[in-house]
Structure 1
Amino acid sequence: MADIDAALASGLLRRPYLELVSRGKALDQGDYTTARSVRGHDFGGYADSAKVLRQLDVGATLLMRNIEHWHSGAAALADRLGAELDRRVEAFLFVTPPGQQGLSPHRDDADVFVLQLNGSKRWQVHAVPDDGHWQARQEPNPGPVRLETTAHAGEVLYIPRGAPHSAVGHAAGLSFHLSLTVRQPGTADLRTVLARRLDDGLELPLLPVDQAELRRTAAELLHHYRERLAGLTPEELCAAVETVPEPRTGTASPEPARALTGLAETLRN
């Protein structure tokens, strides 16, 4: 909690790293952010700690996205879990006032490990989809409840990818929980990797000068794509999609400030 207080007080935390929501609806940006002027230019979306606290006081939930980008402990945990599962892992923090609900029932496009850090939350989890024809979105008709449980501080709840779920903060005290999302490859990833493979090594004129040059360019494009596709197997495409990024360097250090301290000592010597 002290780390979150410090991040909010710094004045540098900015959307989309944070958002406030209440019962499935996002609050207006102006309700919790402010603009800052740098060299005569105004930049909006910076967290206003006083506004954020006021919104929490009236029942809104603070959602902080990808805190592994700036919080060393979250980065170390996400990297370790990602290495064990051979998947990309992201960290999202939720701060919910007593008795309140931030997000309505919804599906996530990732497996989620919910780590309750402070307080407790009552969860409802519904059935996993039977096939892959579903979307990550709010689910007004989530179906029968398959699991109803309360997560207390220090406990972990696993929610399978696609299972609709929702949670309400316990009546006493703030609820802090960390959602560690485990990203699984999908069709969109296959398309992205395929497009990258097809365009690799391809150099064509951006604006062919006439119709004859346009046809020659089209022929070269098709020839290049056919050669690439002929040598590509489903196994190779899946392997490229499942490649896990290298752990972040520097971010996961328990005391990142030592990097500057060490540099200063080196320069003095």
Structure 2
Amino acid sequence: METLRSLVGDPVPFLATVWRRQACLLRPPTPLAPPVTLADVDAALASGLLRRPYLELVSAGQPLDQGDYTSARSVMGHDFGGYADPAKVMRQLDAGATLLMRKIEHWHSGAAALTDRLGAELGRRIEAFLFVTPPGRQGLSPHRDDADVFVLQLHGSKRWQVHAVPEDGHWQADPEPDPGPVRLETTAHAGEVLYIPRGAPHSAVGHTAGLSFHLSLTVRQPGTADLRTALARRLNDGLDLPRLPVDPAELRRTAAELLDHYREQLAALTPEDLCAAAETVPRPGTGTAAPEPARTLTGLAATLQS
């Protein structure tokens, strides 16, 4: 739990009294070294390869038009749109828009290592999002996230309002026009971590004294969709049926075998089993097998020269 410790301090009281219950601002005694910097963002924008939906610009809860911050590229006579245009992005930031960068663990090695470590400690899928907000500006309106969120303030500061945690599961991960009374109002400064429980409406405004830069680590929890996926996988385990029954009699036999198999699987399945299976359902882009060690071109060149 060393990664969690660098975010919350002692993990034991945090998990026992705070986790999934209430928002709080944390000042870990040994804070995590910044896993990503503004220079990294500059390099990603300058690379010419960053593209929507990995980045978006928003202002006062509204997304900007794609053409306001991207340009098209022509490759082999075909135009491909959605590429980040650094000059346009900077003009929009100057005008007060917030830069949102999604799932940076896909391209940033430091963020990938951090999400892998925290995910292993919590047994959950972790995603990383970056926000760059000009002074006194608000990017997103009050909204709910379908995840617990650790907000790592990396540069500058931001004023937050967090509302109550939902009492049941009848809510959507969407903008929340009526978030209810504020339960926590606080300013996160560089080196501090704000924890927001899953589903708690929240919003933030950049501090008037400078640029705000923060990293949000979202901890995804299993939901109804995961239960359905896990159930489908369990029900279909061990099935060996003809793909194309040739006549009505064989189709009926196949239907009977299918129903018998499902009944047997359901009779042996408990809610605890299904919940456990939902926590291990592979997500898009992941698999059950261990990934192969990453190869590099420099390593290949060295191998071929030896």
Matches within 5 A, 1:158-169: 158-169=195-206
1:188 corresponds to which residue?
225
Whole-Å Cα distance in 2 between the matches of residues 218 and 48 of structure 1? 56
SS in 1 for 2:43: helix
1:260 corresponds to which residue?
297
Aligned CA distance change for structure 1 residues 237 and 266 (closer, same or farther; 3 Å): same
Alpha-carbon distance, 1:207 to partner: 4.9
Matches within 5 A, 1:208-227: 208-227=245-264
TM-score by length of 1: 0.90
Q: Deviations over 1:11-63 (max 9, x none)?
A: 11111111111111111222212222222332222111111111111111111
Whole-Å Cα distance in 2 between the matches of residues 69 and 139 of structure 1? 29
1:242 corresponds to which residue?
279
Matches within 5 A, 1:162-181: 162-181=199-218
**Between 41-50 and 111-120, the greater mean CA deviation after superposition:** 41-50
2:62 corresponds to which residue?
25
Whole-Å Cα distance in 1 between the matches of residues 71 and 266 of structure 2? 50
5+ residue gaps in structure 1? 252-257
Q: Percent identity?
A: 84
Matched to 1:227, the amino acid is E
1:128 corresponds to which residue?
165
2:149 corresponds to which residue?
112
5+ residue gaps in structure 2? 1-37
1:12 corresponds to which residue?
49
Matched to 1:263, the amino acid is L
Aligned CA distance change for structure 1 residues 207 and 243 (closer, same or farther; 3 Å): closer
Q: Deviations over 1:107-153 (max 9, x none)?
A: 11100000001111000001111112111111111111111110111
- Aligned residues: CA RMSD: 2.1
Whole-Å Cα distance in 1 between the matches of residues 78 and 243 of structure 2? 36
Alpha-carbon distance, 1:74 to partner: 0.8
SS in 2 for 1:35: strand
1:87 corresponds to which residue?
124
Whole-Å Cα distance in 2 between the matches of residues 82 and 200 of structure 1? 27
TM-score by length of 2: 0.80
Matches within 5 A, 1:67-82: 67-82=104-119
